[in-house]
Chains A and B, each alone.
Chain A
Amino acid sequence: MNTPLDDEPEDLRYAEYVLGVLDADARAAVEREIASDPLAAAKVARWQQHLLPLAEDIPATAPPAHAWARIESALGMQTARHESTQSARTGWWSNLALWRGFAFGAVAVAAACIIALLVLPRAMVTPAPGAAYMASTITQTDGQVGWTATMDLQHARMVVVPAKPQTLPADRVPELWLIPAGKKPIAVGMIAANGATAIALDKALVAQLGPTAALAVSVEPPGGSPTGQPTGPVIAKGAIGAAAVHGAG
């Protein structure tokens, strides 16, 4: 269908919207029309068909491995799925099945995860020379190990693994906190109660990691603490220690 001349200004606005030149207000106005007017939606869709082939010119770029874990975590999905969805290119760090294999039943200190890496085939273990790691054993109030956390400082990421599946009330989830000495807790992220969780760390947060800081797990409503500070009981806590990888390079 051709657009009659009398609605050309409208059709041009849709074209400008798809091209991306409108300011925030004008964009919002078009989006309201798309939502309420099927004809507007159809015209926008036609312009998308016309112009989006330009996107072919943009080279594909593999996202970092932790991006998927963040998405699953944001959607509250079962991290156990990682076993079937990890592809080889994501590398050893993000292989949560591997991490979980170490931790379940082993109930070892987190550093054991790092040591275990040393006995893996060389190809799987290729930390950068000089890479610094820290580890924490997050111990429950009853003295049992709750989670182990391993932090890769160079790449600003952390893997948190429960020592055994954790039982929490149905509508509650565990949230991980970093507590610098003498300061308020900083939210690190939601973690899984019964599987490994990979978390990308802010640079500001990495700067706070050190032997005077601690990690803690509190029980929060789904989506995390609404206040930015722990609202539920703290069920586990642990100091942070260095866990440098020697001889693995």
Chain B
Amino acid sequence: MTALAQFDPDALVELMRACAGGDQAAFATLYRRTSDKLFGICVHMLRERGEAEDALQDVYTNVWRRAGSFDPARANAMTWLITLARNQCIDRLRRHHEEQLDDSAAQRIIDPDPDPAAHSEISEQRQRLERCLATLAGQQREAVRAAFFTGATYNQLANRLDVPLATMKSWIRRSLIRLRECLEPTETQP
């Protein structure tokens, strides 16, 4: 468990700025502070260390090249980095593993931690999301988590959870609408 809050956001923003300016020492520091988290994500999503290493390399070369496009007004630095890592992994999954993931051997749902609320060090945002997830029906919550942690497509999820594709789409779409209502409750028009 690593609360994203443990990454000092201001310090990361400074490091990203320095990277955008070509500061290689700042890049090394950024790597030291964040690579454990991003590599954890790559290993978890790709399930193969060699490919996770390749993905990590692509993630950080992207970080270096695109640091200038990071806008701290729009996103938290760690959110930006994790997004880069997840997108890298999902793109790799789409490229290489479309068939393999449907194999029966891979149908096990990989859930890192079915009871994250049991941990005290999770962030406020994570706790809030957990409260909203808790309002979903069990199967639908499971589908959302499986989607997030495996990067699988609707088709793959339907196969793995053994439900029709239309059911899977409906579960996830209704869950997302529900989560949005739960996470953006008070922001109604005047």
Contact = CB atoms under 8 A, between A and B. Distances in A.
Interface stretch (B9-17, B100-108, B143-151): B143-151
A43 B86 CA distance: 18
Given A19-B144, A42-B74, A2 B129 contact: no
3 smallest A-B Cβ distances: which pairs?
A85-B28, A60-B36, A53-B126
A63 B39 contact: yes
B16 to A, nearest CB: 16
Interface of A: 1-3, 8, 11-12, 15-16, 19-24, 27, 41-42, 45, 48-64, 67-68, 70-71, 74-75, 77-78, 81, 84-85, 87, 200
Interface in B65-113: 74-76, 79, 82-83, 86, 90-91, 94-95, 112-113
Contacts of A84: 25, 28
Contacts of B154: 21, 23
Contacts of B64: 75
Interface residues of B, number: 67
A93 to B, nearest CB: 16
A59 B36 CA distance: 9
B79 A59 contact: no
A60 to B, nearest CB: 4
A67 B177 contact: no
Contact of A71 (B61, B113, B125, B148): B61
Given A53-B126, A77-B24, A67 B82 contact: no
Interface of B: 1-4, 24-25, 28-29, 31-32, 35-37, 39-41, 43-44, 53, 56-57, 60-61, 64, 74-76, 79, 82-83, 86, 90-91, 94-95, 112-113, 116, 122-123, 125-126, 128-129, 144-145, 147-155, 157, 172-173, 176-177, 179-180, 183-184, 187-189
A223 to B, nearest CB: 12
Given A45-B74, A85-B25, A68 B1 contact: no
Contacts of B147: 19-21
B129 A55 contact: no
B131 to A, nearest CB: 12
B57 A71 contact: yes
Nearest to A90: B32
Contact of B125 (A45, A53, A67): A53
